[in-house]
Amino acid sequence: MVSTTKKRRSRKKEVVTHTCMVEPFDIAMYHTRDGEGLSSLQQRFGNWLRGLSFPSRFIYWQMPADLRDRIQYVADLARHENDTLKKQILMENRRNYEQLQNAANYHRSFCGIGMWTDDSITSNAVASSVSGSFDTPAYVSPWPKLFEGNYRLSEPHSSFNYWHLRPVGRPGGRMYFAFMSSYEFMPVDWNFFRPLRQVLALPYPLALCIDFPKTWDRNEAISSIEGTLLATKVHLSTTTSEDSKSGKKYIDCKKTLDELNSGDLLHDIQIVIGVAAPDRESLKKACDEITARTKAFFRLRHDVGQQQAKAALFFSDKSTKLIGNEPTTWQVTSREAALLLGPLGYRKLSGLAGTMRGQSADGAFPFFYNSWPKKKIATHEIVVGLTGSGKTFSLNCFLSRQYIEEGVAFDLLEPMGHGKIIAEAVGAPLFTPSAHETNMNPLDIMYPDPTEQVIHVIRLVETMLGRQFSGTQQGNHQKALVGQALARLYGVNRGVDLFSIQTHQTPIIEDLCDELARIEAKSHVQRIARDLADEIAGLCTGAGPYARFVNATTNLDLSFRGKRTPRVFSFNKMSNDPELLAIAYTQVLTAIRRDSLADEVPRTIAVDEVYRLMQHPSLLDFLVEAVKTFRTRRKKVIVIDQQMRVFLSSEKAKLLFENCPIRVVFNQRSGMDVFREHVAFQHLTEQHLQTISSLGRGYFLLDIQDHGVFYLYMKASQAEVSRFGDS
C-alpha cells in the first residue's frame, strides 16, 4: 500500500510539455454587420479556455518581412532567360513585386499554443483540441527560437535606460532584445482589435506571450471574488471622497461573479511582450511606442536584472513554474480572456513559394501558394464566378505567372473564344477547331490498353448517335459489336502495340462501318450490326452532317509529350454543333490524359464552362477520371464555371467537387443556397457568406482544404491589365 502511494505521488509530479503551431486565420471574416460573428468567435475561444485544467500559454511571433527574395528570384530568371517575350514578362513581374514592396510594410508571423499536463494527455490530443476549438489547422511542433547565438544581460545604458539583452561574440547583425511584463489591467473595454492589434501593427520584430499559469476551481474563484466584492463594498461605504476606481472595481467584480455563475472559469493571466531592434536607440523608440499603445488597457513594466533574462524564457517550452519569474498576474474570466487570443486572426505574409494568387483584401500582404506541396502530388481546384466577376482575368494572371515564373505549362480549353488573349500574351499556340476545317478521328489511339481504347471509342460513337448502348438487349448487342469491330481494326488478336500505330495508319469511321457490316454472326445479330453500320455511316460518312469532321485522319497535333509549352484550345467555332463539340473536347482531353500519364512534369489543365461538358456522360466520366489520376502524375486540373451548384448537381459531378480541395469563389449572389445548405461549406461563417454574395470584380475567397479561407483581390500589374484587360 505504501509503495503504491509513493508511485502515485511520483506520477502526479511528472509534467509533460506539449507545444503546437497554429495556422492564423482572417478575423475579418467574422466581422458581421450585426456583430454576431465576433461574438461567436469569442464564445468559441471562451469554451476552449473553460476546458483548461493545466497551465497553458499562447505565443505570437512577428517580424518584418519583405519581397526581396522573390524579387531576386524573378530577376535571376530574367537574366538567364533567352526567350524575348518571357524575359519581358519576367521584368514586368519583377517591377510589380518592387512596387508592392515599396507600397507596404509586411510582417511574417507564427502562432503557438503550449500546455503542461500530466502524462495522460498526448501532444496530438492537445493539437486536435486546439484545431477543433479554433477551427484552424494546428499541428504538433517545437516552437521556433526567439533568437540565435549568445546574449548577455545588460544594465541600463545611456541610450536605453532599462535592463535588456545584447548579443555577444560576433553579433553579425543580431538584434538587441527587451522584455516587458504586465502588472495591472485597466478597467476599460477590450475587444479583438484593441489593444493588441494596435501593438502588432508596429513595424518591429515583436513577440507576444499570453500566459495562463493557473485556472481556478470555480468554487474557489467565486469565494475569492465574493471576498474582494465585500472588501470593496466596505471601502466604498466608509470613504468620504469619490473613488471612481474602486467603484469601477466593484462593478467589475459583480460582472465577474455573474460570468462565473454562468459557467466561466477564472484564469490568472500575465502578458509578456518582447521587442527587438538593431540598436539601443531603436529599442527605446519601440518600447516607448508599445507602452503608449497599451497604457490605456494594461500597465507594462521593464523587467529588471535576472527577471529580464527569465522573461525571455516565456517564449520557450519551459513552464511558468520552472521559469520562476516574479508573478504579476491578473485575474480574468474565460470570455474576457478569449479576446487576448485575437492575434490568431491576424494573418500576415506566410511565404513566397509558389505563385502569387492575389493580395489580401485589406492590402496587408500578397498571398503565394504552391500547387505542388508534395513531391508527386498536385492539388486540383474549382473556380466559380458570375459573368463580370473577374474570374477569367484572374485565371489568365494565375496561368501566366505560374508559367513564366515557375515554368509550369498549361492547357486551357474554353468554348467562348477568350483564350486568344492569353495565347497572344504568353506566345502559346492557339487551336480553334472548326467543324468545316478540322479533322478529328474518333479512332485515334489514346490508350495503350486495348480494353480502355475500345471503351473510349464506344463512348464517342454513343455521343455521335446521341444515345447510350447499354440498357436494352439490342443496345448491349450494339456495344459488343462495336467492340468486336474495333478489336479487329486495331489488330488486338495479333498482339499489336497500339502506341505503335501512327496517326496516318489509324482506321477511320468508314473503316469501322465496313468492319461492322462484315461481321459474321447469327442472322439477327448480323442484322443489328449492319443496321448500326448504316446508322453510323449516315451521320459520319459521305454527305453525313459529321463526316467532314470525324471521317478523316486528324489534322491537329494534340501531343505535348516532351514539350513544356502552353497551349490554348478555343472551341467557339463549334458552339452550334453540340455533338461535335463534345467529340472535340473528348479527343483533346483524352490526348492530354495520354501524355499527362507518361511523365511527372508539372502541368495545369484548365477547363472552362464545365456545365457544357456535363451534358455528355462520356465527358463527365473523363473529367472524374482525370481528377482522380492526374494529381499523382503532378498534373493540376482546374474546372471553371459560373455557379458552384454545377459541381453538386449529380453524384458524378460531386466526385469532381470532392477531388478538388481548392475552391476559388468569385461573386455568387444568385447561387447562395448551395453555400448555406451543403455540408461541404459548413465551415464558412456568416461573414464568409455575406462576402461571397457581394464580392466586387476581382475579389474572391480562396478556400483551401486544411489550410484556411483567404479573402483576396487579384492585384494585377499594369502590364497584366494591358495584356488581359479585355478578358
Q: What's the CATH number where 308 sits? A: 3.40.462
Examine the fold and report which residue of 490, 514, 547 is the final residue of a domain before the chain moves on: 547
> Residues 374, 317: one domain?
no
Look at residue 357 in the predicted model and tell me its pLDDT.
95
Could you read off the pLDDT of 296-318 as tens digits, one per residue?
A: 999 999 999 999 999 999 999 99
In a domain, 88, yes or no: no
Between 371-375, 483-487, 566-570, the lowest mean confidence (pLDDT) is in 371-375
> Residues 620, 542: one domain?
no
Between 138-152, 154-168, 365-379, the lowest mean confidence (pLDDT) is in 365-379
* pLDDT higher than threshold 80 for residue 380: yes
> Residues 531, 568: one domain?
no
The mean pLDDT value of the chain amounts to 89
* pLDDT higher than threshold 60 for residue 2: no
β-pairing verdict for 16-22 and 138-140: antiparallel
CATH of the domain at 365: 3.40.50.300
Rounded CA gap, 704 and 711, in Å?
Answer: 11
Look at residue 698 in the predicted model and tell me its pLDDT.
94
Are 635 and 605 a contacting pair, CB within 8 Å?
A: yes
> Residues 363, 298: one domain?
no
Cis peptide, bond prior to residue 195, ω within 30 of zero: yes
* pLDDT higher than threshold 50 for residue 604: yes
Examine the fold and report which residue of 305, 324, 345 is the final residue of a domain before the chain moves on: 345
In a domain, 567, yes or no: yes
> Residues 61, 139: one domain?
yes
* pLDDT higher than threshold 50 for residue 10: no
Q: What is the DSSP string of 508-568?
A: -HHHHHHHHHH----HHHHHHHHHHHHHHHHHHSTT-TTHHHHSS---S----TT----EE
Split at pLDDT 50, 70, 90, the class of 243 is low
In a domain, 709, yes or no: yes
Between 240-254, 305-319, 457-471, 493-507, the lowest mean confidence (pLDDT) is in 240-254
At a CB cut-off of 8 Å and minimum separation 6, what does 667 contact?
385, 386, 389, 692, 693, 694, 695, 696, 697, 699
Could you read off the pLDDT of 652-699 as tens digits, one per residue?
A: 899 999 999 999 999 998 889 999 999 999 888 888 898 999 999 999
From residue 86, give the alpha-carbon distance in Å to each of 99, 360, 420, 486, 556: 20, 27, 17, 45, 26
Look at residue 43 in the predicted model and tell me its pLDDT.
92
Looking at the structure of the chain, the number of domains it has is 3
Look at residue 531 in the predicted model and tell me its pLDDT.
94
The H or E element containing residue 7 is: helix 2-13
> Residues 467, 578: one domain?
no
* pLDDT higher than threshold 60 for residue 95: yes
Q: In this structure, what DSSP letter does residue 200 have?
A: H
Between 71-80, 229-238, 623-632, the lowest mean confidence (pLDDT) is in 229-238
- Bridge partners (DSSP) of residue 165 are 153, 177
Could you read off the pLDDT of 36-49 as tens digits, one per residue?
A: 888 989 999 999 99
> Residues 184, 325: one domain?
yes
Mean pLDDT value across residues 486-495: 91
Mean pLDDT value across residues 199-224: 92
Per-residue burial over 275-287, b if 16 or more Cβ lie within 10 Å, else e, is bbbeebebbbbbb
In a domain, 135, yes or no: yes
Between 5-14, 340-349, 423-432, the lowest mean confidence (pLDDT) is in 5-14
> Residues 199, 272: one domain?
yes
Q: Which three cell numbers stand for residue 426?
A: 504568353
Rounded CA gap, 181 and 207, in Å?
Answer: 12
For residue 318, give its domain range: 16-67+109-216+265-345
* pLDDT higher than threshold 60 for residue 11: no
Look at residue 13 in the predicted model and tell me its pLDDT.
62
Look at residue 387 in the predicted model and tell me its pLDDT.
92
Looking at per-residue pLDDT, the higher value among 401 and 11 belongs to: 401
> Residues 417, 469: one domain?
no
Residue 29's φ and ψ, nearest 5 degrees, are: -70, -5
Rounded CA gap, 127 and 107, in Å?
Answer: 25
CA–CA–CA angle 478, 482, 483 (5° rounding): 115
* pLDDT higher than threshold 70 for residue 639: yes
Split at pLDDT 50, 70, 90, the class of 281 is very high
In a domain, 405, yes or no: yes
Look at residue 391 in the predicted model and tell me its pLDDT.
95
In a domain, 83, yes or no: no
Are 605 and 592 a contacting pair, CB within 8 Å?
A: yes
Dihedral class, residue 305 (left if φ above 0, else alpha if ψ from -120 to 50, else beta): left
Split at pLDDT 50, 70, 90, the class of 9 is very low
β-pairing verdict for 603-607 and 635-641: parallel
> Residues 390, 307: one domain?
no
Split at pLDDT 50, 70, 90, the class of 561 is low
In a domain, 350, yes or no: no
Look at residue 83 in the predicted model and tell me its pLDDT.
94
Could you read off the pLDDT of 102-130 as tens digits, one per residue?
A: 888 888 899 999 999 999 999 999 999 99
Q: How many CA atoms lie within 13 A of 366 on its CB side?
A: 25
β-pairing verdict for 430-431 and 567-570: parallel
Among candidate residues 478, 114, 473, the one with its CA nearest the CA of residue 320: 114
Query: Which residue has 469532381 as its cell numbers?
Result: 656
In a domain, 237, yes or no: no
> Residues 209, 146: one domain?
yes
Between 84-93, 243-252, 512-521, the lowest mean confidence (pLDDT) is in 243-252
> Residues 515, 637: one domain?
no
Are 137 and 708 a contacting pair, CB within 8 Å?
A: yes
Examine the fold and report which residue of 345, 375, 390 is the final residue of a domain before the chain moves on: 345
